[in-house]
Structure 1
Amino acid sequence: MEAEHFLPFRKSAVIALCAEEVPAKERESFLEFARLLAALVHHRYHVRGDGLLDAYQVLDPAADERAVHSATTTDYIVAQQILERELVELAEAADFTRIDTAEIRRAFAEHSLVKVRLAVDDQDLDAALFFRRGVAERTEQVKWLFGLRRRAVEFTCYSKVLVYIPRLGGEVVLKLFRDVPRNDLEMLYPDARVGMRPLDKLLIGVPAMISGIIVIATKLIAALAPVLLLLAFWAGLRQESVRLDQTALISLAAGTGAFGGYLFRQFSKFKNRKIKLLKTLSEHLYFRNLDNGAGVFHHLLDAAEDADLKQMLLTYHFLNTTPHPLTPADLDTQIESWFHSRWNTTFDFEARAGIQALQSLNLLTEPHPGTYTAIPLPAAITHLDAHWDNIFRPPTSGKRKTGAAPTQDHTG
């Protein structure tokens, strides 16, 4: 599996790690730069989030909020288009990776940690969007031999899985889960149907067959014998008539009742087994569910904001502390090697995205085509301060502050 873009460090940790390598006399300036950059990135995602949540409100109106206008069919279509586009872009900005349909189909076919077999319609399977972040290999002790023993099972686990499923009528299912084994992805479908595994069928079917043979042999056949002989007489297969007296009728009723009770018990066992499987599935999902609906977008916005900020900070820090200009490939190698050698962390850094974001803020120079360096910290702080002030400056109020470029929204 390819290395992820996700860096498993909080933004505060990244700021602290970079600040430790800055000369003591520049450390306070670097922290001020980080605070200004974080405020600017946060504002941009705040504005983006407002538009996104407005679109989601059209598709899934909050029960405790009133709408000014009734949504039209066109409003639903436009809102869903915005939602799906922003969902994919935010998921990528937050370092989530798209899970293809083939991997989900494998989850249906392979053994899962939760002993439940599920099925889902192909239409739901093809329409759903799944994203993952944080891949880890884990080992867990699971029950074996009907719970008499335990054995260690190694599996791939995703720290977070995002699920988006459009429904007819414009409705959407939007959920976020944590700690999901790769082979259990099928359990995240809301309309998945619980089925019986071969082992479940054997546990119910074999005892049912044995007890059924016993009931039929000892109860039903003996009770039906007079009736069968009478039917044979009516059909001309037997010469001697058979009389059904009160004892025979009572025996027939008892045998039929015993067989009916047997069928009811087997049906109850089947239902109880299915209820147990549903309970197992519900518990599995309950403890892994992180967020639903609009809350998922809040989570994505925060995660994308953090990822953007970490990317920009690392790009600026390494370009600022390296004595010569760097190409994007050199910057990739330096940052990835730094995390691997010092914190044993492997990830795929995207230098070009960080460079593009910093260029939009006039924080980089390009001494030679394809090579970049950062402007000094005092100038960088001045540029960020000017960008921040110009966010709230009316267009007609006069010239922008020196050093500020026209404000552009960087969306990662």
Structure 2
Amino acid sequence: MTVPENREAFIPYRRSDIIKLCLDDGQLNAAETQKFKDFCEILSSYYHFRFHKTLEVIKDNYVPFNPNADVEALVPPSFEQYDAMESSVVDGFNNILERANYIRLPEYDVKQSLGKTSLIDLKTEVDFDDFDRFICYYRGDSYKTIMQKKFFFWKKEKRIDIFERIVLLIKFKEAAYFRAKKDKRKERKFIPGKMYVYFYKNIPKLDIDLLFPNVTTSMTWKDRLLFGIPAIGAAIPLILKALPNILLLVGAILLVLNAEPLIEELKVEQSQVRNVMPLLVATLSLGMALGGFAFKQYSNYKSKKIKFQNDVTETLFFKNLGNNDSVFQTFIDLAEEEECKEIILVYYHLLISKNSLKPEELDVRIEAWMQKKLGTAINFDIHGPLNNLAEIRGKVIKNGVAEENLPEIPLLNYDNAGFCNVLPLNDAKKVIDYVWDNAFNYNGIAL
């Protein structure tokens, strides 16, 4: 069972569920219920449009960095354009991850996992100098308890700290760097100069390094001992068995060197040494025995490596949620959902509140309401949705008034004491409808 440790801003319910929760709260009458539905519908449509524009910007700029691209630019970008396009992708990535309520993971925390193991018993190395950029975000800092087999039938309970969701963006250096580095890897799992984006679920914190395409693996000290001690144990009786043949070979060498007294000290009969056939048989027997032993140990080593690689492959295959350009699409959807859920919750609670609220009071009220209604403890991000509501500005067109004579007003404003005030439902619907009608020529909001 997974146990959450820290409250996060992420709201673990769909936007439609949050809207229904507000409608079922009993604070709106029948007429207000329909108006609130209409407001949420047009608000969601508007934000879908805005995030679609963000996605298009990312897609256009990601083309030269996409390792899986099946399209090409008509004109290759210049060096200046190349750098600007890379920055545009990275800025867009940071923007949508933060708006999806994911948390930036410092590079130091990732590097801490190197040399440590949790579920997969591997020694790993990642060369961070291979990267031009490395960015990591996560959501769901939790843990689970497992029973891990130690020796024979003995099992030990172990706590595994995990990230329920983790996203990596890695931009590799250009090919010239790897040529200068004299990289001798026969098969790279990456293309120099490309940007890789990975999305995984339920990854142990100490196994983050396994997600990198340039990770190298080797046996731990424990595995080396388990491999080496049996090898030494098997080699000793083999050497003892082959010792007579070894003595014959040494004797033959000494005979060629005219060192007959030394042959006598080996207690090897000179007739055997002078006889070619026994010597050949001894040489062949020794070569076959040692060769067979070496092949057996090499096969054991290869089997161990294959098992390691299978463990890694199975872990990454079943926990992978997306790669490269598909990750951007996924997080555009997640960011859109989070943004709308937050705005709807803020607007609803300001709408039904009998008293004016300051941001801090509103934050506490929403968190308590979510805890009461759903049993969900969240760390609500109050400033993001408040800013979004304040930035959405439009006109409330009334009968007999020319549109050009009306000022644009925000959905939310603050009074002199810092209290939040939102437009009533009728006016709020008109404002958001005006913004939506003028979406293609409205310049008041920039993503």
Q: TM-score, normalised by structure 2?
A: 0.83
From 23, 36, 46, the counterpart of 1:30:
36
CA-CA distance at 1:379 after TM superposition: 1.0
The one-letter code sitting in structure 1 at the alignment partner of 2:24 is E
From 82, 104, 120, the counterpart of 1:114:
120
The one-letter code sitting in structure 2 at the alignment partner of 1:364 is L
Contact 2:63-2:71 at 8 Å conserved across structures:
no
Contact 1:128-1:164 at 8 Å conserved across structures:
yes
Equivalence for 1:132: 138
> 1:383 and 2:389 equivalent?
no
Contact 1:325-1:367 at 8 Å conserved across structures:
no
- In the alignment, structure 1 segments of 5+ residues that lack a partner are 395-405
1:96-111 residue pairs with structure 2 within 5 A?
Answer: 96-111=102-117
SS of 1:65's equivalent in the other structure is: coil
Contact 2:67-2:195 at 8 Å conserved across structures:
no
Change (3 A) 1:239 1:6: closer
The one-letter code sitting in structure 1 at the alignment partner of 2:366 is I
Contact 1:59-1:79 at 8 Å conserved across structures:
no
Aligned partners of 1:205 and 1:158: how far apart in 2?
36
Tell me the percent identity.
Answer: 25
Equivalence for 1:292: 323
Change (3 A) 1:157 1:199: same
Aligned partners of 1:310 and 1:408: how far apart in 2?
22
CA-CA distance at 1:205 after TM superposition: 1.0
Aligned partners of 2:103 and 2:236: how far apart in 1?
55
From 10, 18, 33, the counterpart of 1:6:
10
Change (3 A) 1:239 1:344: closer
Equivalence for 2:267: none
From 227, 246, 251, the counterpart of 1:224:
246
Of the structure 1 ranges 132-141 and 23-32, higher mean CA displacement relative to structure 2 is found in 132-141
CA-CA distance at 1:72 after TM superposition: 2.7
CA-CA distance at 1:42 after TM superposition: 0.7
Equivalence for 1:309: 340
Contact 2:198-2:327 at 8 Å conserved across structures:
yes
> 1:197 and 2:233 equivalent?
no
Equivalence for 1:353: 384
- 1:70-102: CA deviations, max 9, x gaps? 233333211111111111121111111111122
The one-letter code sitting in structure 1 at the alignment partner of 2:367 is E
Aligned partners of 2:127 and 2:72: how far apart in 1?
35
CA-CA distance at 1:106 after TM superposition: 2.5
CA-CA distance at 1:254 after TM superposition: 0.5
- 1:179-222: CA deviations, max 9, x gaps? 11212111111111111012221221111110011111112x22
SS of 1:165's equivalent in the other structure is: strand
CA-CA distance at 1:110 after TM superposition: 3.1
The one-letter code sitting in structure 2 at the alignment partner of 1:180 is I
Contact 2:97-2:331 at 8 Å conserved across structures:
yes
Equivalence for 1:403: none
Equivalence for 1:401: none
Equivalence for 1:400: none
CA-CA distance at 1:124 after TM superposition: 4.3
Aligned partners of 1:238 and 1:62: how far apart in 2?
70
SS of 2:262's equivalent in the other structure is: coil
The one-letter code sitting in structure 2 at the alignment partner of 1:13 is D
The one-letter code sitting in structure 2 at the alignment partner of 1:304 is A
The one-letter code sitting in structure 2 at the alignment partner of 1:191 is N
Contact 1:44-1:409 at 8 Å conserved across structures:
no
RMSD of aligned residue pairs (Cα, Å): 2.1
> 1:332 and 2:363 equivalent?
yes
CA-CA distance at 1:68 after TM superposition: 2.3
Contact 1:226-1:244 at 8 Å conserved across structures:
no
Aligned partners of 2:126 and 2:415: how far apart in 1?
57
- In the alignment, structure 2 segments of 5+ residues that lack a partner are 175-192, 265-269, 393-409
Aligned partners of 1:268 and 1:61: how far apart in 2?
35
Contact 2:132-2:173 at 8 Å conserved across structures:
no
Change (3 A) 1:235 1:300: farther
Aligned partners of 1:339 and 1:107: how far apart in 2?
35
How many residues align structurally?
Answer: 397
Equivalence for 2:23: 19
Aligned partners of 1:125 and 1:172: how far apart in 2?
10
CA-CA distance at 1:257 after TM superposition: 1.1
Equivalence for 2:294: 263
- 1:48-89: CA deviations, max 9, x gaps? 111111001132276543432223333321111111111112
Equivalence for 1:144: 150
CA-CA distance at 1:278 after TM superposition: 0.5
Contact 1:324-1:373 at 8 Å conserved across structures:
no
SS of 1:287's equivalent in the other structure is: helix
Change (3 A) 1:381 1:235: farther
The one-letter code sitting in structure 2 at the alignment partner of 1:153 is K
Aligned partners of 1:235 and 1:176: how far apart in 2?
73
Aligned partners of 2:67 and 2:109: how far apart in 1?
33
Of the structure 1 ranges 250-259 and 361-370, higher mean CA displacement relative to structure 2 is found in 361-370
CA-CA distance at 1:143 after TM superposition: 3.4
